[in-house]
Chains A and B, each alone.
Chain A
Amino acid sequence: MPLLELAHLQKSYGPVKALEDLSLEVPEGCLYGLLGPNGAGKTTTLRILATLLAPDQGTVEVAGIDALQDPRSVRCLMGYVAQEVAIDKILTGRELLQLQGDLYHLQPANRDKRMEELIALLGMQDWIDRRCGTYSGGMRRRLDLASGLLHRPQLLVLDEPTVGLDIESRGAIWQVLRELVQQGTSVLLSSHYLEEVEALADRMAIIDAGRVIAEGTPDELKQRLGGDRVTLRVREFSDQLEAERLQRLLQPVEGVLQIVVNRAQGYSLNLVVEGDQVLQRLRQQLDQAGLPVFALAQSRPSLDDVYLQATGRTLMDAELAVAGQRDTKQERKQSMR
């Protein structure tokens, strides 16, 4: 039985459908990554899971408990680290952890011992007694991670845990998450960073427009794609017209399975190829047409290719498409009680 089972979740905010029909299973003891661009429905999914939001349709089960029927039991099992870290600026980090421990009804002695463990684990000794208002983004995120871990949850849920963080804080958080999974905690995190999911996740799902469009281990997803990847540029920055002409020119070359125009990278071409000496044949074809080659590289498929294959656009394209469209005021209203 999976630790977490989301089935056919649907959620709309007025006319906007945030979740179309989302189903997901997270096995016990694994680090599970939800990958998707902003606006794909990751935060909505996690907020439903955290019992902050009721879905319009669908079911949520954690360790066999129906989260919609018995949210309190699920809250006991779960630690939730939200994306926007709400913090009381006037309290010190230690006072905030104490408050959190009391809200989870830890015995005071137990609570204080656990706090010391986490302060050491996350390297917070030097500033834990300073007021939270003085903390940097990385310090806040570490404090929030600590408060999510205080009651030793069976499942830790993190919404974009390292977005906007410096490399050092990011590395520290990654390290803690890896250790947690080794010790038996299950972790579910959302991210729009490919490399984060690639580096951490045992299993992953790609979410786009409110549904899961691919699911498996990162290796499975890449292998399922098949073939190698070739990136081709005839000049550093091309335009759409030229890219489409090239697409037509190279499509008939033997061993070329698919060609996608990558708008986000100056209209380079992303090719899926199979077999030997495809590169050579591509060069020949370009030579005959009298076209230069600025860059031509072959690689194994990456998660970006998985995303590209599933959605027809790169993750960066998807990010760009929603950038500037987000209504942060509306989003804040949605999360406000």
Chain B
Amino acid sequence: MTSPVATPTSAPMAELVQETMALTRRLFLQLQRRPSTLVAGVLQPLIWLVLFGALFSRAPEGLLPGGISYGRFLGAGVIVFTAFSAALNAGLPVMFDREFGFLNRLLVAPLRSRSSIVLASVIYITTLSLIQSLAIMATAALLGYGWPGMAGLGLVLITLLLLVFAVTALSLGLAFALPGHIELIAVIFVFNLPLLFASTALAPLSFMPPWLGWLAALNPLTFAIEPIRAAYAGPLDLSVVLLDAPYGPVSGYVCLLVLMLLTVGLFLLIRPLLNRKLS
């Protein structure tokens, strides 16, 4: 006679941790054996940093606000772009699991909570994007574009985390809303670069025509770029106005608040969708 090994009544928290760890481990094993995502995610922004930095290296002094060099200006934009691109891809593994039926294998199992599937993706993509961003920050430092102090580094990480959570939520939502990976890749492709250009990553607001200035001042990337740029610039003060937006001045606190609201809002927005698809 067989006796069930699985005991459905054991500690819920321990079970949640066990299943989340196992699902996260799978994603990292995939990354370890197929590191091209990691490498490409660092290479692309690196090329931006080197090429764009060189392109404007002879720009007249004092052209940029605060009189900083273009390389220093660009650094913050490329760091944010790195984290953003990585997080935008968060939905891809989930989409492939949907398409190949691996998700069904997970749903047949008595998971304590199906949020563990989402949680594993968030843990994985957050770690990946932070590693990539740190690699870019190190390279920028080597190129002489500076390094934030300890407090500055803390601010950079918090800002990146908020942005990564928000974008991951968006990407996971898309991964469940769209019919297949072709569509998901198309959406990622269409939005990736325009969001970069319509932000303050490559040029300050003062360089832009009014309509683009409006776009950039509403773009979530801008709200991540400005605090990081401030963290690189020197003494940390979040109450200082970082962005002279067409609709009014924006301080560092406002930037972080906007990112936080965006994250919370997006997770609330995708919740019903995830509940339906994972029920």
Give A contacts to B, CB under 8 Å. Answer: 50-52, 72-73, 75-77, 80, 82, 84, 86-88, 90-91, 95, 98-100, 102-106, 110, 114, 151-154, 183-185, 332-333, 335-337
Q: Do residues B29 and A95 form an inter-chain contact, with CB atoms below 8 A?
A: yes
What are the residues of chain A within 8 A of B103 when measuring CB–CB?
337
Closest 6 CB pairs of A and B: A102-B22, A86-B101, A103-B109, A75-B110, A151-B6, A86-B102
Q: Do residues B4 and A153 form an inter-chain contact, with CB atoms below 8 A?
A: yes
Give B contacts to A, CB under 8 Å. Answer: 1-8, 10, 15, 18-19, 21-23, 25-26, 29-30, 33-34, 98-112, 176, 179, 277-278
What are the residues of chain A within 8 A of B3 when measuring CB–CB?
152
What are the residues of chain B within 8 A of A98 when measuring CB–CB?
22
Q: Do residues B19 and A152 form an inter-chain contact, with CB atoms below 8 A?
A: no
**B interface, over-half SS:** helix
**A interface, over-half SS:** loop
Q: Do residues B106 and A103 form an inter-chain contact, with CB atoms below 8 A?
A: yes
Q: Do residues A90 and B29 form an inter-chain contact, with CB atoms below 8 A?
A: yes
A102-B21, A103-B106 as given contacts; A183 in contact with B1, CB under 8 Å: yes
What are 6 A-to-B residue pairs whose CB atoms are below 8 Å? A75-B108, A76-B110, A95-B26, A152-B2, A184-B2, A332-B99
A52-B104, A336-B98 as given contacts; A151 in contact with B5, CB under 8 Å: yes
What are the residues of chain B within 8 A of A86 when measuring CB–CB?
100-102, 104-105
Out of B6, B33, B34, B277, name the residue touching A337 (CB < 8 Å).
B277
Q: Do residues B23 and A105 form an inter-chain contact, with CB atoms below 8 A?
A: no
Closest to B20 in A: A102
What are the residues of chain B within 8 A of A110 when measuring CB–CB?
5
In the complex, A75→B19 CA distance in Å? 15
What are the residues of chain B within 8 A of A51 when measuring CB–CB?
107-108
What are the residues of chain B within 8 A of A153 when measuring CB–CB?
4
Least distance between A288 CB and chain B CB atoms (Å): 61
Interface-centre pick from B18, B100, B105 (highest chain A CB count, 10 A)? B105
What are the residues of chain A within 8 A of B106 when measuring CB–CB?
103
What are the residues of chain B within 8 A of A52 when measuring CB–CB?
104, 107-108
In the complex, A114→B277 CA distance in Å? 32
Q: Do residues B4 and A76 form an inter-chain contact, with CB atoms below 8 A?
A: yes
In the complex, A80→B110 CA distance in Å? 12
What are the residues of chain A within 8 A of B29 when measuring CB–CB?
90-91, 95
Closest to B4 in A: A152
Closest to B33 in A: A90
What are the residues of chain B within 8 A of A103 when measuring CB–CB?
19, 22-23, 106, 109-111
Least distance between B180 CB and chain A CB atoms (Å): 9
What are the residues of chain A within 8 A of B34 when measuring CB–CB?
90
In the complex, A260→B49 CA distance in Å? 79
